Amino acid sequence: MTVDRLAHILRGHGLKLTSQRRAVLKVIAGSHGHLTPAAIYELVRKEYPTIGLVTVYRMLEVLAELDLVCRVHGETTCRSYMMRRPSGHHHHIVCSSCGKVVDFARCALDELQHRLSRETGFKIQGHLLEFSGLCQGCLGETAAEDHR
Amino acid sequence: MTVDRLAHILRGHGLKLTSQRRAVLKVIAGSHGHLTPAAIYELVRKEYPTIGLVTVYRMLEVLAELDLVCRVHGETTCRSYMMRRPSGHHHHIVCSSCGKVVDFARCALDELQHRLSRETGFKIQGHLLEFSGLCQGCLGETAAEDHR
DNA sequence: ACCTAGTTGAAAATCATTTTCAATTAGTTT
DNA sequence: AAACTAATTGAAAATGATTTTCAACTAGGT
């Protein structure tokens, strides 16, 4: 999703396009991993040094509201965001070393969900699925270290 | 898992059994839902009014260390705990109304995991799976409200 | 070139969690 | 049973993240 496309969506919801917002969009859309509000703030500051951390928080709120961003849960951080790339239902594989995130859509949980619903009596409305591990890049580094 | 059993495990790790710890264990082991540190604190205070919130935090740290407690992620809270009931690999179904949690073990993700590993190059090490919805009790209440 | 509602940033307020430290206590040793 | 010691406790302070408040500013319509 390009910054322009995102900008267009914001405008469509009656939101103003400030340069601060553009800068935040650029950082989030350009990242391949999940970012905490503080990390986004630091990155945005390189391009827009006077931006306030509050603005980042507010922007994340807006993006979450419009479902353009999704939260990544991790071992420690649970308030880490990334652009929602495929629209609709999807999940993540997170690299525990570099934070890189890859999405996947087909999760084949329908059958499990039905079984659980039957067995527990819950009316199941949603689910959260995240895999964690090491991406190819980080695997390579670990292997390289082992040779030293 | 009974409080006595838990107490025994703690002792086995050279930890002292204080009445504060017993009180915290009793609350967590006696709950059928997930609890935030603050919620545990409030419940424990009924039985042990002079306990400090710090002690609750420390106890959670100890229990997490020993893998006796597990974290429940929710829409909002990500630092909510509950006793780990079945030992080993398992997941949760969380009621978004009352917070009740039911565990399940067989999650049938092996095949998905292999496929994802093959497709993305990740070495997958773990996963987080949580279903959310309404438990039978809360479903009943919603239905009852609809009749008024 | 206005006008106005939405937006911004600084500072303060709030809230959760961790650290520090002196006093207390469980469980062992004598 | 008294003494001992390392672990534990609670209050207070420190830290860190997030939210609120508010006056100044600005994007985008008129």
Q: Which residue is nearest to nucleotide D10 (CA to C1')?
A: B52
CA–CA dist A35, A28 (Å, integer): 8
Q: Which nucleotide is nearest to A79 (CA to C1')?
A: D17
Please list the residue range(s) of chain A that carry CATH number 1.10.10.10.
1-85
Handedness of CA A30, A34, A37, A43 (dihedral sign): negative
| pLDDT band, very low/low/confident/very high, at B144 (cuts 50, 70, 90) | confident
- Between chains, do A129 and B129 touch, taking CB under 8 Å as contact? yes
Q: A53-65 and A37-47 are packed helices; what angle lies between their axes, rounded to 10 degrees? A: 120
Q: Which nucleotide is nearest to B15 (CA to C1')?
A: D7
Please list the residue range(s) of chain A that carry CATH number 3.30.1490.190.
88-148
Q: Which CATH architecture has domain B88-148?
A: 2-Layer Sandwich (3.30)
Q: Which residues are CB-contacts of B34 (< 8 A; sequence separation ≥ 6)? A: B72, B74, B77, B80, B81, B82, B92, B94, B99, B101
**Helix residue ranges, H only, A35-94:** 37-47, 53-65
- Between chains, do B133 and A126 touch, taking CB under 8 Å as contact? yes
| pLDDT band, very low/low/confident/very high, at B79 (cuts 50, 70, 90) | confident
**Hey, which residues does B92 pair with through a beta bridge?**
B103, B130
Residue B76 has pLDDT above 80, yes or no: no
Tell me the pLDDT of chain B averaged across its residues: 92
CATH placement of domain B1-85 = 1.10.10.10
- Burial (CB < 10 A; 0-12, 13-18, 19+), residue A78, is middle
**pLDDT tens digits for range B16-41:** 999 999 999 999 999 999 999 999 99
Q: What is the largest CA-CA distance in chain A?
A: 57
pLDDT computed for residue A78 by the predictor:
80
How many CB atoms are located within 10 Å of the residue A44 CB?
23
| pLDDT band, very low/low/confident/very high, at B86 (cuts 50, 70, 90) | confident
Query: By the 8 A CB rule, do A37 and A60 touch?
Result: yes
Instruction: Give mean pLDDT in consecutive 10-residue pieces for chain A, a chain of 148 residues.
Output: 92 96 96 94 97 98 94 82 86 90 90 96 94 94 75
Residue A13 DSSP one-character state: T
B contact test, residue of A123, A134, A141 with most B CBs within 10 A: A123
| pLDDT band, very low/low/confident/very high, at B148 (cuts 50, 70, 90) | low
pLDDT computed for residue A148 by the predictor:
64
